[in-house]
Every structure is written in structure tokens, then in C-alpha cells.
Structure 1
Amino acid sequence: MALLRSLLNLFSSVRLGITLMVLIFLYSAVGSAGLPVHWNLLRPDAWLPLREAFDLSEFRWFNWWPFALLIGLFCVNLSVTTIRRIPFNRINLGVWMIHSGLITLSVGSVWYFGVKVEGDTLVHRRALSVSWGGESQTIAAVPGKRVSLRTADGRKADVRVAAIDPEATLEDGTRSVKVSLVARVDGKDMLREMQAGFPESSQDFIPSADTTGWSPVDGVAVDGFETTLDFAPEPYFYLMESRAVYLREVQADGTRGPWVERPIRNLPMFTDRLNERSRVWPEGGANASAQKKMSAIGLSAMHDNDPLPDIRMQVTDTLRYALPEVRRTDGGPAVDPTATVELSRTDDSDVRSFDLRALDPAARSALDGALEMRWVLDESEIDSMLQVRSGGLVVDGVSYPLTPGTQAPFGSGTLTLQSVSDDLVVGGERISVAVVGLQQGENEWVRWIFDDPTLTRDLDAQGQPIEGGLRQADIVTEYRPGSESSVRLVAGPGEEDLRLLIPGEDGGLVQDVRSGSWVDLGAGLQLRVVRYALRSQAERRPLVIPQDQRDRDVGFLASTVRVTCPEGVIRRRGLKDPWLLYHLYAFDGEVDLPRRYRFEPSELVMNDGRRFELLYSRRRMKMPASVVLDDFEVRSRIGGFTGETSSIRDWTSQLRFVKAGGGVSDPYRVHMNNPAEHQGLWYFQSQWDPPDPARREDEVDSLGLNHTVLGVANRKGVYVQLLGTILTVIGLAYAFYVKPVIKRRRLEVAKAAAGGQA
């Protein structure tokens, strides 16, 4: 009893209540804003996000046990204090309502956050289906998307989405999406314009007679070529602050199965965790990352359709902000010399670094050829390199400059020097070649002119060898590789040989540079070799970006995890690479990939030869009903959309939901601060698809509005929170306005009674 009495006295303490309220306020302030680290609190970097040091997001911070404990203690203190210290009567009714409202609000908040599910989903506006010769394929209607179909008898249909007008109107003013397709079907060129929801409005065009435009045709341009525009249902939404690895099998014919999720539980997301520094490149923030380690997180199969149910994988490391980078490292199976050299002025601390690869013509030189690296097979080649001699290209007795891109008259046509490659090592022999395009009348071909005339060959315009070797043997060609006065880093012929050659009229200079010391080049320049590998190999590792160089707007897009599988090897782009890049969504591939979104899955090759793909993203949850985007509207401020978000007044997504028995629901309009509810989930307007100009020659412009991004969440417990808030507000009004009136009237009655007695 004494212990119970002590506890009751403790939780009846007003001081304890005030202390708990102060702690809750401080906890909330630190979790929401952070700790101030600068006197100017309006600066973006004035607040240190302390919760990230504990690897907690804002949502997790307010679901962490310390906050739950503080709220629980506060509710107990409030309940005990109210019952023991505040009599229940008309005077104290407001206080009881305030305290009851706060407790109700706390209970509702625990319910709300305890079962809260929140995420987002990307919904395409339309899907394009193409059918030809018994084959069909469906892709997202996105400008620039391509479809290629090939029938069993070899006929082809190549289709490209040339343009999309997201705000087109029909003659009667009805809004629609207009999609323009450019296709080559069975050797015939055509253009088709389609209106979403109005297939009868489709129009085909064929090239005009003068080939400068398109002419409309009645009916269809190619029989059997069918295209349709329909909704693109999205069944999943992706959970915030969750991570997963997706797995799918790749068949021998290239077909892929569905993605199967394996969740990554308790993965640190705000801090780097690196168990071995050798797994990343040593520069940047690698030292800071190596300070924290993590225990491996198992990736076990949890779905019946997992293609590798008995194979266990692990996440061993995670990096918050790192970029993949390919470099050459030592340890390769064959001779492939590479070096990193530094060049600087003798009176300046500024140093420039260059990576050179001797056997790669595209990577063996720098500074426009003034610095290059070579591999020699014999010591006699050193003497040849020290001599400065000019090269030459001679065709039918006429000399041409050795400048790629040079075009000059040749007979009745033209000669174009396409490229020059010297000192290529092929089959243990060193060869040099000049590739020349020749045109005589209507005939065009390419001649590969070697320094060894017996190797010279002609290719036709399609790159195929010409029978007999030469199209016109009477055209006499000769190529002599030159030796320029560039500084050369020469490896070989011995495995330990690495020398610097400076050609000159007086025999030049040769100096060993394996020691890494600076070598004086004259003219105030010096050079040294900081890394050399004789048998190099390409290796990809993450480069950790230092904290002060990270862009907060990038978010988690630069995060990566390292995954291991004992029964296989993980590769990406042909290189062994266990680091998986983060993806916002687990797209199926190019068929449904929006513009400017990443899709770079890694490949898992099992020891038995089976192939799978891995993709690092967020966990996903199936919605009660798939959602489709019927229409999307943008209302801009005066002056129209300027490219800045501030010029937009509102975005509106008109949604429909797929019914279980087929068809879609009536439309729901979702825009800023106006969500819509369907079967227990609320849908919010989160992001949109802005206009996107082409950035490469093979791209087309996009007017945007091809998809929407919706926030998806449940809101259980909100009405309990609302009830608690209402009780608190009514209690405050009662305490500040009704209670004084009651007390004043009681005082007046008491005074009147006292006056009557007098």
C-alpha cells in the first residue's frame, strides 16, 4: 500500500505534469526542426537534424519508444491529478473537459500513428497497345517510347510515340489526349493520330508525293496494324520509409517474370554503414563512412512465387549518398597497362590528374595528344618513338592531312578521313590504320588503309566486306603513321619497365618513372606517375560524397546497398558489382518507365547458370482497387507556366477506380488540399509531370501531363483526435468564459445573502 500511495502521490504532482509537458515540447521541437546551430534561425542550414543521427525519420521519431513513454506518463499524470485534486462539479467542468480532451487526443494519436500506412504511387495517363501479325505489346503512352514487333514470317513493325498533346480538344470542345505515332510497318511509313476515348477519331497519314509532309488517307494506312489507347491501371503504392529488394527470373529467350519483393527490415537510411573501406573508392567521404558498421540483414523469401525460395541473400552495407564510378585497378588476367599521372607547374600547387590506358586508342592520350601512354613489345620500338617524323595519307599520289573529319575532292567524288588509329596490338603484332570514306558518282564505300598494304580492305556502305577485298584496286593508297613530339609514358617490354619518353631532334630523353618522383619536362612543367597497373581491369565501386557536398534535394536517389548471394555473382553493365542503386518505383522496364526516372537493375547469375534481376526500391502494398488517371489539369498563375513550381496555382487529377466486376468508377477529383477517399485509403495530389524538352538527338519534346504522382494513406483514428480536440476547445471556452460567470454569480449570491443577514 505504501508503494501504491507513493506512486499516486508522484503522479498527482503538478510539477511532474509541467516537467513532462516541457520534455514533450522539447522532444517535438528537436524532432520537427532539429537543434539550432546558427544565430540566424531562418537560414536553411541553421538547424541540425538531430533525429537523423539516430537514423530516424520524422515519422519514426514520433513513433519511437521515448515519445510514447512521455505521452503515456503525461496521460497517467493528467488522469490521476484530475481525479485526486480536481473535484467534479460545475466550476471544474471545463478543466475536466480539457483534460479528457487531451487524453482522448493522445489515444487517437496513438491509434493514428500505430496503424498509419503512407506512401505514393505513379499513375500513367494512358497505355498504348500495338498489334501486328499476331504479335502485340503494351507500353505507357510517353513521348519517345518505341515498340518493335516481328512476326513469325519475319515482317516488322517499328512504332515510336512522336508526340502527345495532353490538352487536346475535339471539334465539340471535349478534352482528350492526342497521341501521334510514327511507324514503319512491313516496309511502309505512316503516321497515326489517336484521341483517347474516341477511337473513331483516329486518322492515318502516309508520306506526301513530294515526301515533304504527310497526306491523310481514308481508312487505315496498313491493314492489320492496330493500336488502342486505354487506361493504365496501377494496383500498388510504395510505402514511405521502407526498403526492399525485388527479384525476378530472366528466361533464356529474354522474357522476364514479375517482380517479387524481399523486404529489408531495420535498414539504416540516414547514416552510412560500411564494414570494409575497400568496398568503396578511398576519396570523398569514405573515411567518415568507415566509422559506422552494421550487422548483415537477411533477405529471406516471403512470397509463394519467389523464384529462389531456398536462396538467402544479405544486405551487408548501405550508403546514404554515393555515386558509382568505374576505374581501372590491378589484378586483371591479361596485360592491359593503365596509369594515373599528375601534371603541374613547378611554381604552382595546382595539379591536374589524367587516367591513361595504353591499349585503348580512345583513352591513351590527353591534352589533345600532347600526353599519351603506349605499350611496346620490343626494346627497338623505344628508339623509333624518340624520333620525330611526320605521318602521311596518300591516295593516287595525292597527300591528305591526317585530321579526322577532313573532306577533300577526289576524282569525280569526295574523300573523307573518318578516323586514324595507330599502334593497335592485334595478335601480338602492332598495326596502324586510317579509315577513309570514298564516293565516286553513286558509289560509296569505306577503305581501311593499313600501314601494312596487304591488310587494306574495302567495306560497302552498310559496313559489309566487299568480295575480292577492294572495290577499285586501281586506286592506290598508302598510310604512314607519324611520330609526334608528344610526351609518352611507355610500358614494357618487361613487366617492371615504365619509362617517360620525350622525343626530340637530338635523340630525346628517356627516364624511369616507377619511383613516383616528379620529372622535369622543361618549360616550367613537371610530371609524376601516382598509380600504375600492368594487368588492369575495370572495377566499379561507389564514391562516397562528403557531407558538405551533398544536395539535399537529391533525397535518397543517391543511396545504395551492397547485396551478397553465396550461390551466385551480382553484376551490372557487364562488371561484377554487388551495389544496388536506389529506385523510387519497381518499374517493369522500358515499357512503363516515365521520362527522367531511373531503371538500372542488377543481374544475379547463379552458379548453375540461371539468370535473375535485382532491383533496390521501397516496399509496396496492393490497393483495394487499382487506380487510373482519367484526366489531369494544371491551373497556372497569370503569365502561364514559367518552369517554376511557384507559377502553378493548382494541379488536379481526375481519378477512377477499377471495379471488381469490370469497368471503372465515377470520377474522383483530387487536387491540392482536397484529397479523395476510396475503400479506406485517401488519395492526395503529390507531384506532376512537367514539360520536358528533348536533351538528346534521339529524344522528342514532351509537353508533360503524361502521369501523376498520388500520395496514398489511411487516416484511422482521425475522428478520435478530432473528438479530443473538440473537447479541449469546449473545455477551454468553458474555463475562460463560463466558469468566471458562474463564480461571479455565486459571489453575488453570497454578497446578497451576507447583506440580508446584516
Structure 2
Amino acid sequence: MSAKWVRSKAWDDRVFPRWAWPIKCVVRAFSTITLAVVILSAIALYGIAASVPIGLLAKIPTYVLYGVALGSLAASMLILGCGSAWLGLRRRSRVAQFSVTVPLGVVLLAASWFLWTSAIWPMLRWDPGTGSGFMMFSDFVERNKSITLRRLPYVEMSELEFYSWWPMRLLLLAFVANMVVATVRRIEFKFVNLGVLMVHTGIVLIALGSVYYSALKREGDMILDSGPAPVRGGITPGSWRSGFYDGQAVAVCVRPAGGLRWLTIPTRGVPRYNDYDLLAHDELSAWGVFGPPDPQGEAPSRTLAMPVRTPPAESAFADVRMRIVGYASYGEDAVDFSVISRDSSDTRTESAATVSMHVVEVGRMDRETGFQLTKRHFLTPDVAKYRGFSLADGTQVDLVPRTTAESRDELAATVPDGALASLIIEIPNSNDLRGPMRASLVGEAGGQSWFVKDPLPIGETGWIVQLEDFQPKNEMRLITPGYEDAESAVAIVRVVPPEGAPFRRYVYARFPEIAQDILDDIDPATGRPMRRDPHPGIRLGLIDSSGDRVHLCIDEQGHVKPIIRRRGGEVRVGPWMETAGVITGLKDSTALRLAGFRAEAELAIRPRSVPEHKRERELVGNHGSAWIGVEVTSTRFDGFRRVVWLPFNKYIASGLTTDRYARVLLPDGRNIELAFGRVFHMFHDFMIRLEDFHVEEYAHRGAPRDYQSTLSVAPHWQRSLRSESGLPIESFRPFTHVAKLNAPLRAPYNVYDTSRGVLASFFGRLVSGLDPHQFKFSQAGWDSTTWERTRAMVDRGELDRPSVLFTILQVGNNPGIHIIAFGGILMAVGIPWAFYLKPWLIRRASARIRAKLAEASATGRDGRPRAEQSSRATAEVTAS
């Protein structure tokens, strides 16, 4: 116990009255090293909770019991065996007792271990596959074997959010207070204690720097576009950008329908890793009217009711209130509809975009109980992507809209046995070919495939067709508006007309209306073959019998005529059916039931959870494929309630990506749009622009060695201070620098300016390190598709330089990082001082005092008794 601590306690007893004992206890507690150890242990446990799966932590009680059981077995065998031997040899010498009991103890320990591993442990060892053995909280352990505390439901934090959470800040601030109080009240401020003081100061600076860093840390990314590419390739400067998208914070965005700017409402506490109420819907949802797609599916029972901040009073939707009532951590598109009823309570207008909706249920027919439902599908013939679905056995079920007797006859046309693809060929207004003809060009027979690639003259018309390729599923992605990402069998047919140049026609079995002619001529603007609408002189259709197909031909009243075609050509046509009609005769006793029809409905896309084994890890925990369900109400209209699901937009309102949003029609006719995106942070006083882009490649042109963006940084003219004349005052001089993979750009303080003096540069770097508005820009991504395409054009001599449309920069600040570094330096210097230099200083002072003591004892030159001199020297040594 130091003398200063004794004086501090005496000061406490003298200053604090009896009634102030709680304050005195707190001061005493913050003066102890014990509290520092407790707080540091709490910080360590906090870190363990952030990184160690809770399933592993939940195993601790079980392994403690394992250890107790093993220890009890060994102790009981030692006590019984060695105790009995000791008592039996109690009349012998200690040497004899030791010689017998120690080897016996080793043998008994080995025996206990053998008994444990061969008999007891096999019974206790937990096997999650079979459920045998003993494990406390086994379900919890297995369910959370790779889940950390921050990923649990209703916790839901990223690593940065968890370490920036208020408990960690409170622990760090408490530790700082403890260190400051203990240092002031226990350690003498003397030169010899400089090392200890430096260590304590370094620890305090590291803790304070960490609190400052976590409170002001910002990280995210931004996308910089380039300007219009020159005729001969290369890049021109893009647009000035004055902000970035936050990597952690998300927002609900609102705007009037067709508006140009989003009102961003930051929303805290949105989940990240778990699903919440995926079936959330309003009373108009088809899922609510007819039931969810998977009746046997277990939707998460967790509920969510997270209020969204009220829009500003001056906005056009100040009366709108929103809550987040559902969350899909990793979802894919699923179809839902808002069912429209044209009664007096319907708030929708005639301008609302409507489609027809069909509900088709999949199940099995049972003689006793009737139709047994297993799956429900919501379809619309008005959107190609949502016309059909596949059964478990691969059978494709399709709605066929706007059918005529002729089109139904083509769907039900008979083809030779084994035919897999047949062309329907018709020459309108031809005297030589009356009506369509069929030609089966792909098939199988006797286990062998056949493919007719010979040119096929069409009678005496002068037309010649030749099948070049048949694809059961289109290999080239469809980008035709309204048909994006739809799938269909396609035949690529070479057509030679009687007059004019030959062309290729892409004929789609499911979507004959989007057939295109591809010419041999190259479009000079794009470098691709020219396209046009189908030549009117010839009509081609495709009968796809490469798999089992169920065509549901529909009329305007919702009646359905099924046409079932088996692989290889067999076809069966059913009668017209109304709602509740059941279609049988499919594989494995599968049946289809027509469960519902609405002539008018609004398409509403909502999420379906993706199984964990199909998820991409880089999209987990950052909302990359997440959806939120938002409940919309209004203070002006009682009873109004809508629930819409919003997919995540990574770069909302960037102008370089397509925003995905949902519309809500309010009872008074106002139409608003809602979106889910990230919070956008504006830079304090500067903006940035892409000037040029370059990729350094290896000689063999594999993965790029480095990609570099030339960036310009300039003061923002709207946020700069202005002079008396109103002109902006630039806070720094604009500059340009190259950002590389391992050499980021730092702005707005120009650390690359060599015109400053050494001191100015040093203090400038120091101050900028404390400034939360100083950012680092690192290369995070680039437009590799455009680069590869234009580089190929450079190789062909069509361009001089390749180009990109955009580059992506990682943006982040490091406020207070210099404080933490300085604290680390103080600790690095103080530790050797405290452990090596301080003892040497004390030994040197002690030796000097002993020398003086010896000299005084020999000479007695001060005239006082030697005993008094010795006592005084001893007191000096003790005080030091």
C-alpha cells in the first residue's frame, strides 16, 4: 500500500461526513485496481460474446459436468485405493507408504481414464445426428452452433454496431474514470513513476480514442459515373458527387408517385439476420384471401412492430404513418396480388394498373377425402414472368392468354411419336401453301436422338427454313420489356426468303409474340447484328414437347381449358372448367385445382425466404437481398391500412441503377411510392469526380493486378463559406490524385501537397486524423463488363482505349485513430520504463543513500550522534 493511498483514505475520512458514505464508497471503489480488473473482464466477455457462437458457450455447463464426473471418478478411485493402502501401511515408515501409494495413484489414474474413455464417455458423448448422449440445452446448442450473440433475434447487429453499442461505451468510460481516479489517488507524481504514469495515460487515451472512434465512425461506399465515352473510346470526366451511402444505416424512402426526389427517413433497429412475419399482409392481399403459397410451411412466429419516423409536417404525406411489420433477411421474388372489389368502399381509382389473377393449387386426389392441397400458386397471364410454374417432377404449367380456336388447335396439334420440337410454318396470302404446315425437326427414337438440320423448302413458295439450334430453355437472357428473365424453349431458324437477304428468327414456344429476326448486317452504333420485327411474309410457331407441359387456355371470364402434352408428343385436351375444377391425369397422381379468379387485381411482389444453403455469404447480414414489410396508415382516414413489401436498393436514387419500389394509393387519390434503401450522407464541404480509369493487367490477362481511378476533389460551392461579396471561399485548393487498390485517396485535407512545411504537414495530418469529416476512398469495384467489351473492341482495332461506365469506391473515416496510436506508443515506452528503468533508478538512489549513510557513519561530520544520523538515513530510504 503506497503512502499516497494512505493519505487519500485519510482525506476521505476527513472530508466525507457519515451521511455521504455512498459517495465515499463509490470514490473508494473507483480508486481500486480490483474494479479495473472487473471492468476489463467485462470488456473481454463482451468481446467473447461478439465473436464466439452462443451454441459453443451454451456447451460450457455440460463440459463442466463432464469435468466434474471425470474428476469424481478419479478422486473416488484415488481415495479408495490410495487411502486403503495408506491405512494398511500406517505402521510402516513414511518412505514405504510413499513408495506404495504414489505408484498406486498413477495406476489408479490410468485406470480411471481407461474406464472413462471405454465405458462412461461413449454413453455421455453427445451425437447431434442420432440424439444419443448427454448435452444440456441440446436444441439450443445445435440451432446456434454458428450464431453469435449479435445475430440473435431482436439483437440483430453488425460487428461495428455491436462494438459501438452503448454498453461497450459505458464500460470504456467507466474504465477511464477508474484509471484516472486510481492514478491520481494512488500513484506519486514523481520522475521515477513516469513509466507507470505513461502506461496509465496510454490506456486512458486508447479507451477514450475508442469511444470517440465508435461514436463518429462512418463507412459505406459510393458509385462514380464517367462521362460520355469519346468516339474512339476512353473516359471523359463524370458528374460531381457530394456524398456516399452508409454501410450500416438504412432508411424508408417516400415520394409522390412519379416524383424525382426521395424523402429519406432513417430507421434504426432494423433486423439483419432473421426473418419476421413473412406472411404480413392487409385485408386485400390474395395471400390473405386465399391463403399463403405453402400451407404446410412454417413461417417465422416472430413479430415486428417498428415505428418509422413521421414525415415532416410540410410534406405532401404528413398524415401518413408507417410501421415495419415484417422482415425477410434473404428473400426472392414471390407473387401476391391486391384483390380489387368495385364497391363503394374501394379506394382505388380507375387509373390503377390492373391485371387478371388466377389461383392454381397443386395437390393429390384422394378417393375418401378429395383434393389434398400441398402448394398454391398465384398467376397472371398479363406478365410473362408470372404466367406459369414448374411441378416437382419438372412438368411446366402455363397460363395461355387470349387464346383463339386456331391457337388452341396449334397447342393441341398432334406430332409424331418421339418428337421433341416441331415447327409450325405458315405463309400468309400464299396460293401454294394453304393453312399452316408442321415439321418435326428434333426428337428421339429407340434411345437415339435425331435432329433435322437440312434446309426445308416450303412448297413452291420460294421460302426455305433450316433449324440451326433448339434450346429447351433459352440460354440467352430475355431483356424484352415485360419479359425480363422469363424462360421458354426457343428454336433458332435460318430463313431464306424468295427475295431479299436471309435472316435468323428466334421462335419462343411460350411467347410467340416476341419473335425477332436477326439480320446478318452489323449495326455500326453497337457493333451487334441488326434486329427487326418478324418478316410478315412468314409465320413460325414452335411446339415444345421436350418435357411434360400443361397449357391452361383461358378466356375473359376466367374459364380454363387444359391441354396436357407429354414428353414425346402425346397430347390430351380437357373440357372448359370454372373455379374449383380439378385437372387430373398428371404424373405421380398429381392434380391441379382452379382455386380462384379475379378479373381485376394489382400485382404485388413480396419475398419468399431462400434456404440457407442457397444464400451467397456476401449478401448475408448487410440487407443485400433483404425485404421489409411496411404497414401504411393515415391519420385522416380511419380504417385505412395497406401492407407493402419493399426490396433493398443498394444505390437508391443514384441514377445508375433501377430503383425498386411499391405504390400505395391513399383514399383521397394520392399515390405515394415507398422504397427501402440506405442512408445517404453528404460530405461536409467537398465533392469528388471520376476523371479517368485504368486497369493494370498481367501479361496473360487473367485477374486484374490493379485497377486505378483518377479522382478530382474540389470544395463544394454550395457549402463553402462566402465572402462579403457573396463569392464562395475555398477551404482548400482543388487537387487530383490516383486511388489504387492498396493506395487510397484521402480527402478533403490534401495529404499529398508537398508545398507545405514539415511542421504544417505534421499538424495538418494530426488535426485531419481527429476530424470525422476526413475520409479515405478505396477501390471497391468497377464496371468490368463494359471494360471487357471495349477492350475486345480495342483488340480488333475498333477503339483506341477501353472504357467503363462507373467505378465503386469504399468510403470511410477513422476519427481518433491517432489518439489510439499515441496511447499505444505511451504504453510501449512506459512498460519497459516501469519494469526495467524504474527498478534501476530505485537501486541507484538506494545505493547513493547507502553510500551517504556509510560516509556519515564513518566521519560523523555534522556533529550529531551516529545513531541519529543512521535513523535519518533509514527514514530517507523508506520515504524513497
TM-score bracket, shorter-length normalisation: 0.5 to 0.7
Conserved? CA contact 1:105–1:721, under 8 Å: yes
Find 1:625's aligned residue among 663, 673, 686. Answer: 686
Residue number in structure 1 paired with 2:747: 677
Cα 1:372–1:342, aligned 2, differ >3 Å: closer, same or farther? farther
Is contact 1:372–1:486 with CA below 8 Å preserved after alignment?
no
What are the within-5 Å matches in structure 2 for residues 389-428 of structure 1?
A: 396=432, 400-401=437-438, 408-414=457-463
Q: For 1:283 and 1:695, how far apart are their aligned partners in 2?
A: 43
Please give the per-residue CA displacement for 1:47-88, whole angstroms capped at 9, x wherever unaligned: 533212221222221222221222233223223332333333
Contact 2:712 2:737 in 1 (8 A): yes
**Correspondent of 1:557 among 624, 637, 654:** 624
Find the aligned partners of 1:486 and 1:328 in 2 and give their Cα distance. Answer: 28
User: Counterpart amino acid of 1:526?
Assistant: D
Partner of residue 333, structure 2 = 324
Show CA shifts across 1:606-664 (max 9, x none): 4455555433211112212221122334445x546523xxx535745433225525998
Q: What is aligned with 1:92?
A: 193
Pick from 156, 174, 180 the counterpart of residue 73 of structure 1: 174
Instruction: Quote how far apart the aligned CAs of 1:234 are.
Output: 0.6
Q: Structure 2 unaligned runs (5+)? A: 1-19, 60-143, 342-354, 366-373, 417-421, 442-452, 468-494, 504-530, 636-641, 718-727, 750-772, 795-800, 859-880
Aligned-pair distance for 1:316? 2.6
Cα separation, 1, equivalents of 2:744 and 2:501: 67
1:244 counterpart (248, 251, 268): 251
Deviation at 1:233, TM superposition (A): 0.4
Change (3 A) 1:605 1:681: farther
Summarize the Cα distance change of 1:354–1:500 in structure 2 as closer, same or farther, 3 Å threshold: farther
1:567 deviates by 6.2
Q: Which residue of 2 aligns with 1:145?
A: none
The Cα shift of 1:542 comes to 0.8
Q: In the alignment, does 2:589 pair up with 1:527? A: yes
Mapping of 1:484-503 within 5 angstroms? none
1:12 aligned partner: 31
> After the TM superposition, which of the residue ranges 231-240 and 729-738 deviates more from structure 2?
729-738
Q: Shift in Å at residue 744 of structure 1?
A: 2.4
1:586 alignment partner, one of 652, 657, 660: 652
Q: Are 2:274 and 1:274 equivalent residues in the alignment?
A: no
What's the counterpart of residue 173 of structure 1? none
Q: 1:247 to 1:354 in 2, by over 3 A?
A: closer
Larger fraction in strand = 1
Conserved? CA contact 2:360–2:376, under 8 Å = no
Q: 1:700 to 1:559 in 2, by over 3 A?
A: farther
What is the one-letter code of the residue matched to 2:775? Answer: W
In structure 1, runs of 5+ residues without a counterpart are 40-44, 129-178, 181-191, 197-228, 344-351, 419-436, 446-460, 569-575
**In the alignment, is residue 541 of structure 1 matched against residue 611 of structure 2?**
no
Deviations 1:565-599 (A, max 9, x none): 3469xxxxxxx98211111122354xx34xxxx53
Give the C-alpha shift of residue 552 in structure 1. 1.5
Correspondence 1:689 to 2:746: no
Choose 1 or 2 for highest CA Rg: 2
Q: Distance in 2 between matches of 1:271 and 1:630?
A: 42
Superposed counterparts of 1:196-275, under 5 Å: 229-250=236-257, 256-274=259-277
Q: CA offsets per residue over residues 464-494 of structure 1, 9 Å max, x none?
A: 999xxxx9xxx9x9x9x99999897989999
Contact 1:681 1:714 in 2 (8 A): yes
The answer to whether the Cα contact below 8 Å between 1:120 and 1:709 also exists between their aligned partners in 2 is yes
Q: Which residue of 2 aligns with 1:127?
A: 227
Corresponding residue of 1:600 = 660
Conserved 8 A contact 1:313-1:565: yes
CA distance in 1, matches of 2:788, 2:709: 28
Is 1:372–1:489's contact at 8 Å kept on the other side of the alignment? yes
Cα offset, 1:401, TM superposition: 1.8
SS of residue paired to 2:242 = strand
Partner of 2:49: 30
Distance 2:678 2:156 in 1: 17
Per-residue deviation at 1:541?
2.5
Identity percentage over the alignment? 19
1:656 and 1:674 map into 2 onto residues whose CA distance is 13
Amino acid at match of 2:626: S
* Contact 2:363-2:592 at 8 Å conserved across structures: yes
Structure whose residues are more often helix by fraction: 2
Q: 625, 628, 648: which is aligned to 2:705?
A: 648
What does 1:95-494 correspond to in 2, within 5 Å? Answer: 95-124=196-225, 126-128=226-228, 179-180=229-230, 192-193=231-232, 229-250=236-257, 256-274=259-277, 276=279, 287=298, 290-302=300-312, 306-326=315-335, 336=358, 338-340=360-362, 363=388, 396=432, 400-401=437-438, 408-414=457-463, 439-441=497-499
Contact 1:336 1:534 in 2 (8 A): yes
Secondary structure of 2:181's aligned partner: helix
Alignment equivalent of 1:711, drawn from 805, 810, 818: 810
CA apart distance, 1:242? 1.0
Give the SS at the match of 1:273: coil
Q: Is the 8 A contact 2:246 2:679 kept in 1?
A: yes
C-alpha contact 2:433 2:461 (8 A) present in aligned 1: no
- Aligned twin of 1:133: none
Amino acid at match of 1:676: R
Per mean C-alpha deviation after superposition, the further-off stretch among 27-36 and 68-77 is 27-36
Q: Residues 328 and 115 of structure 1: is their aligned pair in 2 closer, same or farther, counting only changes over 3 Å? A: closer
TM-score normalised by the chain length of structure 1: 0.61
Task: Specify whether residues 56 and 690 from structure 1 end up closer, same or farther in structure 2 by C-alpha distance, changes over 3 A only.
Answer: same
1:700–1:526 CA distance, 2 compared to 1 (3 A):
farther
One-letter identity of the residue aligned with 2:608: L
User: What is the deviation of 1:741?
Assistant: 1.8
Residue 657 (1) aligns with residue 728 (2)? no
- Equivalent AA in structure 1 for residue 816 of structure 2: G
Question: Does the aligned pair in 2 maintain the 1:687–1:710 contact within 8 Å?
Answer: yes
1:733 aligns to what? 832
Distance 1:694 1:653 in 2: 16
1:208 maps to none
Distance 1:742 1:691, change over 3 A: same
RMSD, aligned CA: 6.0
Mapped contact 2:271–2:327 kept (Cα < 8 A): yes
The alpha-carbon deviation at position 26 of structure 1 amounts to 2.6
TM-aligned CA distance change 1:508 to 1:334, over 3 Å: closer
Contact preservation (8 Å) 1:412, 1:441: no
Q: Is the 8 A contact 1:341 1:355 kept in 2?
A: no
User: Partners of 2:433 and 2:145 in 1: how far apart?
Assistant: 74
Query: Is residue 332–residue 625 contact of structure 2 (8 Å, CA) maintained in 1?
Result: yes
- Could you say what secondary structure the match of 1:91 adopts? helix
Distance in 2 (CA, whole Å) between partners of 1:376 and 1:659 is: 57
Q: Residues of 2 paired with 1:607 and 1:439: CA distance? A: 57
Q: 1:8 to 1:261 in 2, by over 3 A?
A: closer
Q: Deviations over 1:104-130 (max 9, x none)?
A: 332233233223333322222x323xx
Give the Cα–Cα distance (whole angstroms) in 1 for the partners of residues 544 and 631 of structure 2. 50
Partner Cα distance (2:208, 2:777) in 1:
25
